[in-house]
Chain A
Amino acid sequence: MFELKDVVVEDVLEIKSLTLEENIISIEGQSGSGKSTILRLLNNLDDPKSGSIEYKGKEIVTIAPQELRKKIVMLPQNPVVFDGTIRDNLLIGLQFSGEEDVSDDRLKEVLSFMSLEKDLDTKASDLSGGEKQRVAIGRILLLDKAEVYLLDEPSSDLDDHTTDQVMKQFLHLAKKNKKQTIMVTHDKKISEKFADEMINMDEYSKSIHKEDDEK
Protein backbone atom coordinates (compact mmCIF):
# COMPACT_ATOMS: atom_id res chain seq x y z
CA MET A 1 0.00 0.00 0.00
CA PHE A 2 3.04 2.29 0.39
CA GLU A 3 5.33 3.35 -2.38
CA LEU A 4 8.57 5.17 -1.62
CA LYS A 5 10.53 6.80 -4.43
CA ASP A 6 13.95 8.46 -4.17
CA VAL A 7 13.49 8.98 -0.47
CA VAL A 8 16.52 10.50 1.21
CA VAL A 9 16.94 11.14 4.92
CA GLU A 10 20.22 12.88 5.52
CA ASP A 11 22.94 10.56 6.87
CA VAL A 12 20.40 7.77 7.42
CA LEU A 13 18.46 6.51 4.42
CA GLU A 14 18.55 6.49 0.67
CA ILE A 15 15.71 4.55 -0.91
CA LYS A 16 15.52 4.56 -4.71
CA SER A 17 12.32 2.56 -4.83
CA LEU A 18 10.48 0.49 -2.26
CA THR A 19 6.96 -0.87 -2.28
CA LEU A 20 5.30 -2.08 0.92
CA GLU A 21 2.19 -3.99 -0.04
CA GLU A 22 2.31 -7.34 1.71
CA ASN A 23 0.00 -7.92 4.62
CA ILE A 24 2.65 -8.46 7.28
CA ILE A 25 6.02 -6.91 6.64
CA SER A 26 8.98 -7.22 8.92
CA ILE A 27 11.78 -4.67 8.81
CA GLU A 28 15.17 -5.79 9.98
CA GLY A 29 18.63 -4.30 10.01
CA GLN A 30 21.56 -3.34 12.13
CA SER A 31 21.10 -0.73 14.79
CA GLY A 32 21.27 2.74 13.27
CA SER A 33 20.22 1.44 9.87
CA GLY A 34 17.09 3.61 9.84
CA LYS A 35 14.43 1.06 10.86
CA SER A 36 12.58 3.41 13.20
CA THR A 37 13.14 6.30 10.81
CA ILE A 38 11.16 4.63 8.04
CA LEU A 39 8.20 4.07 10.39
CA ARG A 40 8.36 7.72 11.46
CA LEU A 41 8.28 8.74 7.81
CA LEU A 42 5.22 6.59 7.13
CA ASN A 43 3.44 8.08 10.18
CA ASN A 44 4.63 11.52 9.00
CA LEU A 45 6.30 12.37 12.29
CA ASP A 46 9.32 13.26 10.16
CA ASP A 47 9.77 14.37 6.57
CA PRO A 48 12.38 13.02 4.19
CA LYS A 49 14.88 15.51 2.84
CA SER A 50 13.69 14.61 -0.65
CA GLY A 51 11.60 12.04 -2.48
CA SER A 52 7.99 10.98 -2.25
CA ILE A 53 6.00 8.60 -0.07
CA GLU A 54 2.63 7.50 -1.36
CA TYR A 55 -0.11 5.72 0.54
CA LYS A 56 -2.78 4.12 -1.66
CA GLY A 57 -1.54 6.22 -4.56
CA LYS A 58 -1.71 9.51 -2.69
CA GLU A 59 1.32 11.44 -1.46
CA ILE A 60 1.15 11.43 2.32
CA VAL A 61 2.08 15.11 2.55
CA THR A 62 -1.22 15.88 0.81
CA ILE A 63 -3.25 14.04 3.46
CA ALA A 64 -4.22 16.02 6.61
CA PRO A 65 -1.84 14.86 9.38
CA GLN A 66 -4.51 13.77 11.85
CA GLU A 67 -6.46 11.89 9.17
CA LEU A 68 -3.27 10.18 8.04
CA ARG A 69 -2.27 9.11 11.56
CA LYS A 70 -5.76 7.84 12.34
CA LYS A 71 -5.36 5.47 9.38
CA ILE A 72 -1.67 4.73 9.80
CA VAL A 73 -1.17 4.32 13.53
CA MET A 74 2.19 3.79 15.15
CA LEU A 75 3.38 2.03 18.26
CA PRO A 76 6.66 3.52 19.52
CA GLN A 77 9.57 1.45 20.73
CA ASN A 78 9.19 2.57 24.34
CA PRO A 79 5.58 1.88 25.29
CA VAL A 80 3.81 5.09 26.28
CA VAL A 81 1.43 4.94 29.20
CA PHE A 82 -0.68 7.92 30.08
CA ASP A 83 -1.95 8.95 33.52
CA GLY A 84 -4.75 6.84 34.94
CA THR A 85 -5.84 3.22 34.88
CA ILE A 86 -5.52 0.47 32.28
CA ARG A 87 -9.06 1.36 31.17
CA ASP A 88 -8.07 5.02 30.66
CA ASN A 89 -5.01 3.92 28.72
CA LEU A 90 -6.96 1.67 26.39
CA LEU A 91 -9.72 4.23 25.80
CA ILE A 92 -7.38 7.18 25.24
CA GLY A 93 -6.41 5.88 21.80
CA LEU A 94 -10.08 6.00 20.78
CA GLN A 95 -10.31 9.55 22.08
CA PHE A 96 -7.20 10.60 20.16
CA SER A 97 -8.60 9.02 17.05
CA GLY A 98 -12.05 10.55 17.54
CA GLU A 99 -13.79 7.17 17.87
CA GLU A 100 -16.58 6.15 20.24
CA ASP A 101 -15.65 4.60 23.60
CA VAL A 102 -16.19 0.86 23.90
CA SER A 103 -17.59 -1.26 26.74
CA ASP A 104 -15.55 -2.81 29.55
CA ASP A 105 -16.31 -6.23 28.06
CA ARG A 106 -14.57 -5.25 24.85
CA LEU A 107 -11.60 -3.89 26.83
CA LYS A 108 -11.34 -7.12 28.82
CA GLU A 109 -11.45 -9.07 25.58
CA VAL A 110 -8.52 -7.05 24.24
CA LEU A 111 -6.59 -7.62 27.48
CA SER A 112 -7.14 -11.35 27.17
CA PHE A 113 -5.90 -11.24 23.54
CA MET A 114 -2.78 -9.64 24.98
CA SER A 115 -2.53 -12.37 27.66
CA LEU A 116 -2.81 -9.72 30.33
CA GLU A 117 -4.79 -10.82 33.36
CA LYS A 118 -5.24 -7.47 35.04
CA ASP A 119 -8.14 -5.51 36.42
CA LEU A 120 -9.15 -2.55 34.25
CA ASP A 121 -8.90 -0.29 37.30
CA THR A 122 -5.21 -1.09 37.86
CA LYS A 123 -3.03 2.02 37.73
CA ALA A 124 -1.05 1.92 34.50
CA SER A 125 2.04 3.34 36.19
CA ASP A 126 2.17 0.23 38.44
CA LEU A 127 2.58 -2.13 35.47
CA SER A 128 5.87 -3.75 34.47
CA GLY A 129 7.56 -2.84 31.17
CA GLY A 130 6.13 -5.87 29.39
CA GLU A 131 2.63 -5.22 30.73
CA LYS A 132 2.81 -1.59 29.61
CA GLN A 133 3.84 -2.77 26.17
CA ARG A 134 0.84 -5.08 25.96
CA VAL A 135 -1.52 -2.28 27.05
CA ALA A 136 -0.02 -0.09 24.32
CA ILE A 137 -0.53 -2.84 21.73
CA GLY A 138 -4.10 -3.39 22.98
CA ARG A 139 -4.72 0.33 22.64
CA ILE A 140 -4.07 0.31 18.91
CA LEU A 141 -5.96 -2.92 18.42
CA LEU A 142 -9.13 -1.08 19.46
CA LEU A 143 -8.82 1.51 16.71
CA ASP A 144 -11.38 0.73 14.02
CA LYS A 145 -10.28 3.58 11.74
CA ALA A 146 -6.74 2.19 11.57
CA GLU A 147 -5.79 0.63 8.24
CA VAL A 148 -2.09 0.14 8.90
CA TYR A 149 -0.23 -0.71 12.09
CA LEU A 150 3.37 0.46 12.35
CA LEU A 151 5.02 -1.40 15.21
CA ASP A 152 8.48 -0.41 16.43
CA GLU A 153 10.01 -3.36 18.29
CA PRO A 154 6.65 -4.55 19.67
CA SER A 155 8.25 -7.36 21.66
CA SER A 156 11.27 -5.58 23.13
CA ASP A 157 9.97 -5.92 26.70
CA LEU A 158 8.32 -9.35 26.33
CA ASP A 159 9.72 -12.82 27.01
CA ASP A 160 9.74 -15.40 24.21
CA HIS A 161 6.59 -17.18 25.31
CA THR A 162 4.54 -13.98 25.71
CA THR A 163 5.92 -12.57 22.45
CA ASP A 164 4.71 -15.65 20.65
CA GLN A 165 1.23 -15.49 22.18
CA VAL A 166 0.78 -11.72 21.80
CA MET A 167 2.11 -11.45 18.25
CA LYS A 168 0.13 -14.48 17.13
CA GLN A 169 -3.11 -12.98 18.43
CA PHE A 170 -2.34 -9.48 17.20
CA LEU A 171 -1.36 -10.48 13.70
CA HIS A 172 -4.26 -12.91 13.44
CA LEU A 173 -6.71 -10.13 14.30
CA ALA A 174 -4.95 -7.64 12.02
CA LYS A 175 -5.15 -10.05 9.12
CA LYS A 176 -8.77 -10.91 9.87
CA ASN A 177 -9.70 -7.22 9.92
CA LYS A 178 -7.73 -6.60 6.70
CA LYS A 179 -5.18 -4.29 8.28
CA GLN A 180 -1.60 -4.13 7.13
CA THR A 181 1.19 -4.52 9.71
CA ILE A 182 4.68 -3.17 9.21
CA MET A 183 6.91 -4.03 12.14
CA VAL A 184 10.47 -3.30 13.02
CA THR A 185 12.02 -6.16 14.92
CA HIS A 186 15.42 -7.49 15.81
CA ASP A 187 13.83 -10.86 16.62
CA LYS A 188 14.42 -13.13 13.62
CA LYS A 189 12.03 -15.74 15.00
CA ILE A 190 9.08 -13.33 14.76
CA SER A 191 9.97 -12.37 11.20
CA GLU A 192 10.37 -15.93 10.06
CA LYS A 193 7.26 -17.14 11.76
CA PHE A 194 4.79 -14.38 10.92
CA ALA A 195 6.01 -12.06 8.16
CA ASP A 196 4.90 -12.33 4.53
CA GLU A 197 7.87 -10.21 3.49
CA MET A 198 11.14 -9.30 5.15
CA ILE A 199 12.95 -6.09 4.31
CA ASN A 200 16.53 -5.53 5.33
CA MET A 201 17.13 -1.84 5.94
CA ASP A 202 20.89 -2.27 5.66
CA GLU A 203 20.36 -2.18 1.88
CA TYR A 204 18.95 1.31 2.12
CA SER A 205 20.98 2.60 5.00
CA LYS A 206 23.42 5.41 4.39
CA SER A 207 25.08 5.07 7.77
CA ILE A 208 25.75 1.34 7.32
CA HIS A 209 27.17 1.88 3.81
CA LYS A 210 29.32 4.67 5.13
CA GLU A 211 30.76 2.38 7.81
CA ASP A 212 31.42 -0.32 5.18
CA ASP A 213 33.17 2.19 2.95
CA GLU A 214 35.37 3.29 5.81
CA LYS A 215 36.47 -0.33 6.50
Chain B
Amino acid sequence: MSGDSAIDFTIWQVALAYVFIAVLFVIVRIKKIPRERLVVLSAVRMTLQLIVVGYVLVYVLDNPNPWITLLIILLMLTFATFNVYQRTKPMINFSFKKLIALAMFTGIIVNLTYFMFVVLQLDPWYDPQYFIPMGGMIIGKTMTGVSLGINYLLTGMKDRQEKIEGALMLGASPKVASKSIVNEAFDQAMLPTINAMVGMGIVFLPGMMTGQIIAGQEPITAVKYQISVMLGVAGTVSITVLIFLHLAYKNFFNKREQFILTKRDMKKEDMPVEYD
Protein backbone atom coordinates (compact mmCIF):
# COMPACT_ATOMS: atom_id res chain seq x y z
CA MET B 1 0.00 0.00 0.00
CA SER B 2 1.28 3.44 -0.77
CA GLY B 3 0.58 5.42 2.35
CA ASP B 4 2.48 8.40 0.96
CA SER B 5 -0.46 9.74 -0.99
CA ALA B 6 -2.66 10.04 2.11
CA ILE B 7 -2.90 13.60 3.41
CA ASP B 8 -1.01 13.87 6.67
CA PHE B 9 -3.33 14.53 9.53
CA THR B 10 -2.06 16.65 12.43
CA ILE B 11 -2.97 16.06 16.05
CA TRP B 12 -4.72 19.47 16.03
CA GLN B 13 -7.00 18.40 13.24
CA VAL B 14 -7.92 15.29 15.23
CA ALA B 15 -8.60 17.52 18.22
CA LEU B 16 -10.99 19.58 16.10
CA ALA B 17 -13.01 16.41 15.44
CA TYR B 18 -13.87 16.32 19.14
CA VAL B 19 -16.16 19.28 18.43
CA PHE B 20 -18.70 16.64 17.32
CA ILE B 21 -18.62 15.06 20.76
CA ALA B 22 -18.83 18.50 22.41
CA VAL B 23 -21.95 19.26 20.35
CA LEU B 24 -23.44 15.88 21.25
CA PHE B 25 -22.67 16.54 24.90
CA VAL B 26 -24.43 19.92 24.80
CA ILE B 27 -27.45 18.42 23.02
CA VAL B 28 -27.97 15.60 25.54
CA ARG B 29 -27.58 18.12 28.36
CA ILE B 30 -30.13 20.58 26.92
CA LYS B 31 -32.55 17.76 26.10
CA LYS B 32 -31.99 16.35 29.59
CA ILE B 33 -31.17 12.91 28.19
CA PRO B 34 -29.17 11.27 30.98
CA ARG B 35 -26.30 10.15 28.75
CA GLU B 36 -23.59 12.77 29.38
CA ARG B 37 -21.37 10.29 31.21
CA LEU B 38 -21.79 7.67 28.50
CA VAL B 39 -20.95 10.15 25.74
CA VAL B 40 -17.74 11.26 27.45
CA LEU B 41 -16.80 7.78 28.55
CA SER B 42 -17.26 6.24 25.10
CA ALA B 43 -15.23 9.00 23.43
CA VAL B 44 -12.42 8.61 25.97
CA ARG B 45 -12.50 4.81 25.70
CA MET B 46 -12.38 4.91 21.94
CA THR B 47 -9.48 7.35 21.96
CA LEU B 48 -7.40 5.36 24.45
CA GLN B 49 -8.16 1.99 22.85
CA LEU B 50 -7.26 3.21 19.37
CA ILE B 51 -4.07 4.90 20.54
CA VAL B 52 -2.97 1.66 22.24
CA VAL B 53 -3.94 -0.42 19.20
CA GLY B 54 -2.16 2.04 16.94
CA TYR B 55 1.11 1.64 18.83
CA VAL B 56 0.70 -2.13 19.04
CA LEU B 57 0.13 -2.26 15.28
CA VAL B 58 3.19 -0.10 14.64
CA TYR B 59 5.25 -2.63 16.61
CA VAL B 60 3.61 -5.66 15.03
CA LEU B 61 3.93 -4.33 11.47
CA ASP B 62 7.56 -3.40 12.04
CA ASN B 63 8.34 -6.81 13.55
CA PRO B 64 6.30 -9.40 11.60
CA ASN B 65 6.14 -12.65 13.54
CA PRO B 66 3.76 -15.62 13.03
CA TRP B 67 3.26 -16.17 16.76
CA ILE B 68 2.36 -12.55 17.43
CA THR B 69 -0.08 -12.52 14.50
CA LEU B 70 -1.75 -15.72 15.73
CA LEU B 71 -1.81 -14.47 19.32
CA ILE B 72 -3.58 -11.27 18.27
CA ILE B 73 -6.17 -13.21 16.23
CA LEU B 74 -6.72 -15.54 19.18
CA LEU B 75 -7.18 -12.58 21.52
CA MET B 76 -9.68 -10.99 19.15
CA LEU B 77 -11.55 -14.28 18.92
CA THR B 78 -11.65 -14.65 22.70
CA PHE B 79 -12.88 -11.09 23.24
CA ALA B 80 -15.49 -11.57 20.50
CA THR B 81 -16.76 -14.73 22.24
CA PHE B 82 -17.07 -12.93 25.59
CA ASN B 83 -18.80 -10.07 23.80
CA VAL B 84 -21.37 -12.53 22.44
CA TYR B 85 -22.05 -13.73 26.01
CA GLN B 86 -22.64 -10.13 27.10
CA ARG B 87 -24.95 -9.39 24.21
CA THR B 88 -27.12 -12.43 24.93
CA LYS B 89 -30.18 -11.02 26.66
CA PRO B 90 -31.41 -13.98 28.75
CA MET B 91 -28.88 -15.52 31.17
CA ILE B 92 -27.25 -18.62 29.67
CA ASN B 93 -25.63 -21.46 31.57
CA PHE B 94 -22.07 -22.75 31.25
CA SER B 95 -22.85 -25.54 28.77
CA PHE B 96 -24.55 -23.01 26.49
CA LYS B 97 -21.50 -20.76 26.73
CA LYS B 98 -19.32 -23.71 25.75
CA LEU B 99 -21.47 -24.22 22.64
CA ILE B 100 -21.08 -20.57 21.66
CA ALA B 101 -17.30 -20.77 22.12
CA LEU B 102 -17.13 -24.03 20.16
CA ALA B 103 -19.13 -22.56 17.28
CA MET B 104 -17.18 -19.28 17.26
CA PHE B 105 -13.74 -20.93 17.36
CA THR B 106 -14.55 -23.70 14.87
CA GLY B 107 -16.47 -21.56 12.38
CA ILE B 108 -14.03 -18.66 12.42
CA ILE B 109 -10.78 -20.66 12.44
CA VAL B 110 -11.88 -22.90 9.55
CA ASN B 111 -13.11 -20.00 7.43
CA LEU B 112 -10.22 -17.70 8.30
CA THR B 113 -7.74 -20.41 7.34
CA TYR B 114 -9.38 -20.82 3.94
CA PHE B 115 -9.61 -17.05 3.47
CA MET B 116 -5.97 -16.30 4.34
CA PHE B 117 -4.30 -19.31 2.72
CA VAL B 118 -6.45 -19.96 -0.34
CA VAL B 119 -8.05 -16.61 -1.18
CA LEU B 120 -5.48 -14.00 -0.10
CA GLN B 121 -2.40 -16.27 -0.38
CA LEU B 122 -0.31 -13.90 1.75
CA ASP B 123 3.45 -14.00 1.56
CA PRO B 124 4.56 -14.53 4.28
CA TRP B 125 1.32 -16.22 5.36
CA TYR B 126 1.26 -14.31 8.65
CA ASP B 127 1.78 -10.86 7.07
CA PRO B 128 0.22 -8.77 9.89
CA GLN B 129 -0.61 -5.85 7.58
CA TYR B 130 -3.35 -7.98 5.99
CA PHE B 131 -3.91 -10.85 8.41
CA ILE B 132 -4.85 -8.74 11.43
CA PRO B 133 -7.23 -6.13 9.95
CA MET B 134 -9.01 -8.62 7.70
CA GLY B 135 -9.19 -11.25 10.42
CA GLY B 136 -10.59 -8.57 12.74
CA MET B 137 -13.29 -7.63 10.24
CA ILE B 138 -14.39 -11.22 9.79
CA ILE B 139 -14.37 -11.89 13.55
CA GLY B 140 -16.29 -8.68 14.31
CA LYS B 141 -19.04 -9.28 11.76
CA THR B 142 -19.37 -12.91 12.82
CA MET B 143 -19.74 -11.79 16.42
CA THR B 144 -22.68 -9.56 15.45
CA GLY B 145 -24.34 -12.27 13.36
CA VAL B 146 -23.95 -14.96 16.01
CA SER B 147 -25.34 -12.63 18.71
CA LEU B 148 -28.43 -11.96 16.62
CA GLY B 149 -28.91 -15.67 15.91
CA ILE B 150 -28.58 -16.63 19.57
CA ASN B 151 -31.01 -13.98 20.79
CA TYR B 152 -33.58 -14.98 18.18
CA LEU B 153 -33.26 -18.67 19.05
CA LEU B 154 -33.59 -18.04 22.78
CA THR B 155 -36.61 -15.75 22.53
CA GLY B 156 -38.21 -17.96 19.86
CA MET B 157 -37.96 -21.04 22.08
CA LYS B 158 -39.67 -19.16 24.89
CA ASP B 159 -42.34 -17.40 22.87
CA ARG B 160 -43.32 -20.42 20.81
CA GLN B 161 -43.25 -23.16 23.43
CA GLU B 162 -46.87 -24.11 22.74
CA LYS B 163 -46.13 -24.73 19.08
CA ILE B 164 -43.00 -26.71 19.84
CA GLU B 165 -44.79 -28.89 22.34
CA GLY B 166 -47.84 -29.12 20.04
CA ALA B 167 -45.55 -30.68 17.43
CA LEU B 168 -43.92 -33.07 19.91
CA MET B 169 -47.37 -34.25 21.04
CA LEU B 170 -48.00 -35.60 17.54
CA GLY B 171 -44.69 -37.46 17.25
CA ALA B 172 -42.41 -34.78 15.78
CA SER B 173 -38.71 -35.01 16.58
CA PRO B 174 -37.15 -32.08 18.49
CA LYS B 175 -35.40 -31.10 15.25
CA VAL B 176 -38.66 -30.88 13.31
CA ALA B 177 -40.50 -29.22 16.21
CA SER B 178 -37.94 -26.40 16.41
CA LYS B 179 -37.17 -26.19 12.70
CA SER B 180 -39.00 -22.93 11.97
CA ILE B 181 -37.32 -21.16 14.91
CA VAL B 182 -33.87 -22.44 13.92
CA ASN B 183 -34.42 -21.34 10.32
CA GLU B 184 -35.62 -17.90 11.34
CA ALA B 185 -32.70 -17.49 13.76
CA PHE B 186 -30.34 -18.27 10.88
CA ASP B 187 -32.15 -15.75 8.72
CA GLN B 188 -31.89 -13.05 11.41
CA ALA B 189 -28.19 -13.75 11.88
CA MET B 190 -27.52 -13.41 8.17
CA LEU B 191 -29.69 -10.36 7.57
CA PRO B 192 -27.13 -7.62 8.36
CA THR B 193 -24.55 -9.30 6.11
CA ILE B 194 -27.05 -9.74 3.29
CA ASN B 195 -28.24 -6.13 3.65
CA ALA B 196 -24.64 -4.90 3.68
CA MET B 197 -23.90 -6.82 0.47
CA VAL B 198 -27.02 -5.49 -1.22
CA GLY B 199 -26.43 -1.86 -0.25
CA MET B 200 -22.68 -1.81 -0.73
CA GLY B 201 -21.47 0.61 -3.40
CA ILE B 202 -24.91 2.19 -3.85
CA VAL B 203 -26.20 3.07 -0.40
CA PHE B 204 -22.76 3.38 1.17
CA LEU B 205 -19.07 2.83 0.57
CA PRO B 206 -17.74 0.15 2.88
CA GLY B 207 -15.26 1.22 5.56
CA MET B 208 -12.36 -0.94 4.50
CA MET B 209 -12.60 0.16 0.87
CA THR B 210 -12.91 3.81 1.88
CA GLY B 211 -9.86 3.44 4.10
CA GLN B 212 -7.81 1.89 1.34
CA ILE B 213 -8.80 4.58 -1.16
CA ILE B 214 -7.95 7.36 1.33
CA ALA B 215 -4.60 5.66 1.92
CA GLY B 216 -3.90 5.93 -1.81
CA GLN B 217 -4.85 2.46 -3.03
CA GLU B 218 -6.25 2.01 -6.56
CA PRO B 219 -10.06 1.89 -6.22
CA ILE B 220 -10.24 -1.34 -8.27
CA THR B 221 -7.75 -3.07 -5.97
CA ALA B 222 -9.72 -1.79 -2.98
CA VAL B 223 -12.90 -3.19 -4.55
CA LYS B 224 -11.27 -6.61 -5.01
CA TYR B 225 -10.31 -6.73 -1.34
CA GLN B 226 -13.74 -5.56 -0.29
CA ILE B 227 -15.51 -8.19 -2.37
CA SER B 228 -13.39 -11.02 -1.01
CA VAL B 229 -13.76 -9.83 2.58
CA MET B 230 -17.54 -9.55 2.26
CA LEU B 231 -17.75 -13.05 0.80
CA GLY B 232 -15.50 -14.29 3.60
CA VAL B 233 -17.75 -12.61 6.16
CA ALA B 234 -20.90 -14.13 4.63
CA GLY B 235 -19.33 -17.59 4.64
CA THR B 236 -17.97 -17.31 8.17
CA VAL B 237 -21.19 -15.92 9.68
CA SER B 238 -23.31 -18.60 8.00
CA ILE B 239 -21.11 -21.53 8.98
CA THR B 240 -20.56 -20.30 12.56
CA VAL B 241 -24.28 -19.66 13.10
CA LEU B 242 -25.18 -23.02 11.55
CA ILE B 243 -22.78 -24.87 13.86
CA PHE B 244 -24.22 -23.00 16.84
CA LEU B 245 -27.89 -23.53 15.94
CA HIS B 246 -27.35 -27.19 15.09
CA LEU B 247 -25.97 -27.80 18.57
CA ALA B 248 -28.00 -25.28 20.57
CA TYR B 249 -31.61 -26.31 19.84
CA LYS B 250 -30.85 -29.76 21.31
CA ASN B 251 -30.19 -28.12 24.68
CA PHE B 252 -33.89 -27.39 24.99
CA PHE B 253 -34.84 -31.08 24.95
CA ASN B 254 -33.87 -33.96 27.21
CA LYS B 255 -33.17 -37.58 26.32
CA ARG B 256 -36.89 -38.43 26.38
CA GLU B 257 -37.38 -35.62 23.83
CA GLN B 258 -39.35 -33.56 26.33
CA PHE B 259 -39.28 -29.79 25.94
CA ILE B 260 -37.58 -28.67 29.12
CA LEU B 261 -38.97 -25.14 29.26
CA THR B 262 -42.44 -26.60 29.92
CA LYS B 263 -41.36 -29.59 31.96
CA ARG B 264 -42.81 -29.13 35.42
CA ASP B 265 -40.03 -30.76 37.44
CA MET B 266 -37.08 -28.99 35.80
CA LYS B 267 -34.81 -27.30 38.29
CA LYS B 268 -33.78 -23.73 37.57
CA GLU B 269 -30.10 -24.66 37.64
CA ASP B 270 -30.64 -27.33 34.96
CA MET B 271 -32.21 -24.90 32.50
CA PRO B 272 -29.91 -23.85 29.66
CA VAL B 273 -31.36 -20.37 29.75
CA GLU B 274 -32.76 -18.24 32.52
CA TYR B 275 -35.48 -15.92 31.27
CA ASP B 276 -36.72 -12.87 33.18
List residues of chain A with CB under 8 Å of any chain B CB.
9-10, 12, 37, 43-47, 49, 61, 65-67, 69-70, 73-76, 78, 80, 82-83, 92-93, 95-98, 139-140, 143, 145
Contacts and interface: CB of A to CB of B under 8 A. Distances in A.
B169 A97 contact: no
B265 A49 contact: yes
A66 B265 contact: no
A80 B265 contact: no
B265 A45 contact: no
A43 B258 CA distance: 10
B257 A65 contact: yes
Contacts of B256: 44, 47, 61, 65
Contacts of B264: 9, 12, 37, 46
B199 interface: no
4 shortest A-B CB distances, which residue pairs? A80-B166, A70-B171, A96-B172, A74-B169
B171 A76 contact: no
A10 B263 CA distance: 13
Interface string B164-190: 011111111100110010000000000
A15 B182 CA distance: 39
B250 to A, nearest CB: 14
Contact of A96 (B162, B170, B259): B170
A73 B170 contact: yes
Given A73-B171, A143-B170, 14 more contacts: A10-B265, A46-B265, A47-B265, A65-B256, A66-B171, A70-B170, A74-B170, A75-B169, A80-B162, A80-B166, A80-B167, A83-B180, A95-B176, A97-B171
Interface of B: 162-163, 165-173, 176-177, 180, 256-259, 262-265
Contacts of B170: 69-70, 73-74, 93, 96-97, 139-140, 143
Given A70-B171, A82-B163, A96-B176, A46 B257 contact: no
B162 A46 contact: no
B173 A66 contact: yes
Given A49-B265, A66-B257, A43 B173 contact: no
A148 B242 CA distance: 37
A33 B263 CA distance: 17
B258 A76 contact: no
Given A83-B180, A96-B176, A46 B171 contact: no
